[in-house]
Amino acid sequence: MLTLKQIRDDRAFALERLAVKGVDAAAALDRIEQLDDSRKALQAKLDANLAQQNANAKEIGQLFKAGKQAEAAAAKEKTAALKEVSKQLEEKLKQTEGELNEIIVTLPNFPHSSVPQGKTAADNVIVRTGGETPELGAGALPHWELASKYDIIDFELGVKLTGAGFPVYKGQGAALQRALIAFFLDNNTSAGYTEVMPPLMVNEASGFGTGQLPDKEGQMYHATVDNFYLIPTAEVPVTNIYRDVIINESDFPIKLTAYTPCFRREAGSYGKDVRGLNRLHQFDKVEIVQIAHPETSYEALEGMVKHVESIVQKLELPYRILRLCGGDMSFTSALTFDFEVFSAAQQRWLEVSSVSNFESFQANRLKLRYRDANKKTRLAHTLNGSSLALPRIVAALLENNQTPEGIRIPKALVPYTRFEMIK
């Protein structure tokens, strides 16, 4: 959530930054300024009224001591009237603050100055590429046909048990999933991330804290009886570990990693681009999260990008890293780098990771602060990234490594799968 200081200090800058994300915020900023001015005026009146009440209370005590009963009674009546005014002012102040917050939470984060202009994925900028694209022979199969051929993923059984987008992994397919999760976690913990195992359901406060609510409410599975949400990513529970927490400056950086299943409704998704593993309602993902000092958060972001890149390289997959344009960024992000791997059988790029710096946007919602050297509390910066999401990684591994003998497992993964080929 943006702070009032960010919004009001430089109106022209706020409008320009939000426009990069395709948001015309002029009307919203006008209303925010009006409400903030009203809030300040109401607070001033309330403070003055409360001060007068306190002064009257002292006066009443002195009058009673002096035996001036009639004057004391008159002063008590004035105080009662003041209390009624205070009650009305408090109610108006509460309503004004509520409306003010309702508008502020609809505004996305300011994009970083390096974010390119653009409205869609076509406007994203390629930062760098790596790996070699395999040359597949005639008759190469897409991963959903390979899954059937080698009996490692059953999409139809998933439809029977739950519905489309809930595949069942079998045999070597299940072993490959388990191997990738362990491989990713080991790489992350070796890089200094502490592993945690969070709940798979969160409350409304957690969803709000990381920005999924109210922005993505329709994309989350909602257990209505208990008002819990199935997590769309481990980012939500892991980052919320530090909700309403004040940390010491010496605690930076805080680095956490977690494996969880993830659940997304993906409403409206259909067509050839969502076949097989390309888009699921339930999928496995390993996440990395950092809580960083504001002065070093972009160094942390660079380190996270390099870390994810090193894992993709170990998997021997052709990849590219994109700097997302304003129109393709998330509501909460200030700067995002996407990783895509090339699917040789489908002849298309598949997104497998997003690595983002949210600056203080999430921290303001979370009330996540740190105490600086002067003992003042300030908002921390939060970052997160997929390290990595499994479905499209698996799709690319199956397609790119298919041979007449079977599907080859990358060398770095063999100690985890304990087999070199899927046959």
Give the whole-angstrom CA distance, residue 263 versus residue 279: 11
DSSP letter assigned to residue 49: H
Tokens of 289: 């999260």
Average pLDDT per consecutive 10 residues, the chain (423 residues; last block may be shorter): 96 98 98 98 96 89 85 87 94 97 97 97 98 91 98 98 97 98 98 98 97 87 97 98 97 98 80 84 98 98 98 98 98 98 96 98 98 95 98 98 97 98 97
53 CB neighbour count, 10 Å cutoff? 17
Residue 409 · residue 422 · CB < 8 Å? yes
Tokens of 409: 């497992």
Q: Evaluate the omega torsion of the peptide bond into residue 253 and state whether it is cis, within 30 degrees of 0.
A: yes
Give the whole-angstrom CA distance, residue 10 versus residue 16: 10
Task: Please tell me whether 340 is known to bind a ligand.
Answer: no
Task: Please tell me whether 31 is known to bind a ligand.
Answer: no
Tokens of 373: 């050297």
Ramachandran category for residue 291: left, alpha or beta (phi over 0 → left; psi -120 to 50 → alpha): beta
Q: Are strands 153-154 and 381-389 parallel, antiparallel or unpaired?
A: unpaired
Strand partners, 355: 337, 385
The SS3 call for residue 143 is helix
Query: Starting at the edge strand that comes first in sequence, how are the strands of the sheet with 222-223 ordered?
Result: 201-202, 228-230, 222-223
Task: Please tell me whether 287 is known to bind a ligand.
Answer: yes
347 CB neighbour count, 10 Å cutoff? 12
Task: Please tell me whether 233 is known to bind a ligand.
Answer: yes
pLDDT at 270: 56
Ramachandran category for residue 165: left, alpha or beta (phi over 0 → left; psi -120 to 50 → alpha): left
pTM of the model: 0.93
Residue 227 · residue 213 · CB < 8 Å? no
Tokens of 231: 């997590």
Tokens of 53: 């009440």
Q: Which residues contact 278 (CB under 8 A, 6 or more apart)?
A: 350, 391, 392, 395
Residue 24 · residue 57 · CB < 8 Å? no
Angle at the Cα of 268 from the Cα atoms of 265 and 273, rounded to 5 degrees: 95
The SS3 call for residue 311 is helix
Q: Which long-range contacts (CB under 8 A, 24 or more apart) does 415-418 make?
A: 416/178, 416/179, 416/180, 416/182, 416/183, 417/172, 417/175, 417/176, 417/179, 418/175
Give the whole-angstrom CA distance, residue 298 versus residue 284: 27
What Rg, from alpha-carbon coordinates, does the chain have? 27
pLDDT at 92: 97
Q: Is CATH 3.40.1190.20 correct for 121-422?
A: no
75 CB neighbour count, 10 Å cutoff? 20
- Amino acid occupying residue 276: G
- Amino acid occupying residue 222: H
Task: Please tell me whether 8 is known to bind a ligand.
Answer: no
Number of residues that make up the chain = 423
Q: Which residues contact 24 (CB under 8 A, 6 or more apart)?
A: 18
Q: Domain residues of the chain, as ranges?
A: 4-104, 121-422
Task: Please tell me whether 156 is known to bind a ligand.
Answer: no
Task: Please tell me whether 91 is known to bind a ligand.
Answer: no
Q: What per-residue string of b and e applies to 298-327 under the rule 16 or more CB within 10 Å gives b?
A: bebbebbbebbbebbeebbbbbbbbbbbbb
Task: Please tell me whether 266 is known to bind a ligand.
Answer: yes
Taken in order 317, 385, 222, 105, is the CA torsion positive or negative? negative
Strands (E), 116-208: 125-130, 153-154, 168-169, 194-195, 201-202
Fold classified for 4-104: Helix Hairpins (1.10.287)
